[in-house]
Amino acid sequence: MAQAGRVNDVELILPGEFGAATRLSSKALRLYAEQGLLVPAAIDPATGYRRYHRDQIPRGRLIARLRVLGLPLARIATLLEFSPQARQAELRAWLAAQEAQLRRRRELIEALDGAAVPSTAAPGLRLRPPRKLLCQERRVHIGELDTFVTEAQQRIRARLQATGVPCDGPALVHFHGFVTHDSDGPVEVAVAFIGAVEPVDDLRVRLSPAGTDVYLPVAEADAGFPDILHAYETLEAWIDANRLISLASPVEIRPGTDGALLDVTYPISTIGGS
């Protein structure tokens, strides 16, 4: 670190003056010095007083403007080392990503307006038998969901077929967390089977108990994201209105009933509490 007297004292200014020139508070200056982003040009070894060089003012102003954008310090440290042209290109790419994220969030907000699912079907109840499931689970974002469901189904059915177990039942897609453009909730794809199958690699076997499901068929035109959220809201509102309780994560059953692309289902407690 530079010491007083090793630089031209005429060019050194006090932290208060430097902060006024760069619009950086004393707290920010201390933080950026600790992080190595804006190290004082000189520190008096006796008093610890800091001094900044006038030539550091443009760097200080750049840091202040980048912080206004909400960029983390680690990203700012990288950008400071870029040429002006490279930095501008990087910031434009970052801005495009932010705009895309904002568009996705706007779509999600518009979908969560409480409107009923655009379907002539109404929620129904049906019994769910006990089942053995061969499953694969992964964390995915919404853009990866369809590919994962397709590939997981193929792996599961191939494993069942290789074991000589019938595998023509529907695919069960369990959502153990929120799956959006920004959230990669765990998704579990499963196929029910009868017989014995040994798990292999990331395929596992688990038991699904008997119970009652409330379900809603969803047509292909309404099954895309975020429109399908209307189906979830419709079912949740129906559960609440009937003073029932959802017992587990929602499940999409593919294909659905009566020619629907899928059924959205919730395992629920019955009125009698069973």
Last residue of a domain, one of 81, 112, 143: 81
Q: Do 131 and 223 fall into the same domain?
A: yes
How would DSSP label each residue in 104-166?
A: HHHHHHHH-S-PPPS-S---EEEEE--EEEEEEEEE--HHHHHHHHHHHHHHHHHHHHHTT--
* pLDDT value of residue 107: 74
Q: Do 198 and 66 fall into the same domain?
A: no
Structural domain includes residue 185: yes
pLDDT in tens, 91-111: 999 999 888 888 877 777 776
* pLDDT value of residue 270: 66
- The domain in which residue 51 lies consists of 9-81
From 186, 106, 107, 108, select the one nearest 141 (Cα to Cα): 186
Give the mean pLDDT of the chain: 88
Structural domain includes residue 111: no
Q: Do 71 and 142 fall into the same domain?
A: no
Q: Do 263 and 145 fall into the same domain?
A: yes
Q: Do 137 and 264 fall into the same domain?
A: yes
Q: Do 135 and 247 fall into the same domain?
A: yes
Mean local confidence (pLDDT), 204-233: 92
Cβ neighbors of 198 (< 8 A, separation 6 or more) are 163
Structural domain includes residue 274: no
Res 203 pLDDT > 50: yes
Res 174 pLDDT > 60: yes
Which tokens in the block code for residue 120?
Answer: 């002539």
CA distance 1 to 42: 7
From 104, 116, 123, select the one nearest 230 (Cα to Cα): 116
Res 81 pLDDT > 80: yes
Mean local confidence (pLDDT), 224-232: 89
Mean local confidence (pLDDT), 110-131: 73
Structural domain includes residue 75: yes
* pLDDT value of residue 25: 92
Q: Do 41 and 144 fall into the same domain?
A: no
Total domains in the fold of the chain: 2
Mean local confidence (pLDDT), 4-30: 82
Res 9 pLDDT > 90: no
The CATH number linked to 263 is: 3.20.80.10
Structural domain includes residue 93: no
**Percent of the chain scored above 70 by pLDDT?**
91
Res 131 pLDDT > 70: yes
Structural domain includes residue 28: yes
Structural domain includes residue 136: yes
The CATH number linked to 54 is: 1.10.1660.10
Question: Which string of b and e fits 119-131 if b means at least 16 CB within 10 Å?
Answer: bebebeeeeeeeb
pLDDT in tens, 52-73: 999 999 999 999 999 989 899 9
Specify the amino acid at residue 187.
V
Cβ neighbors of 171 (< 8 A, separation 6 or more) are 149, 153, 189, 190, 191, 253, 254
Q: Do 129 and 195 fall into the same domain?
A: yes
* pLDDT value of residue 166: 86
* pLDDT value of residue 111: 67
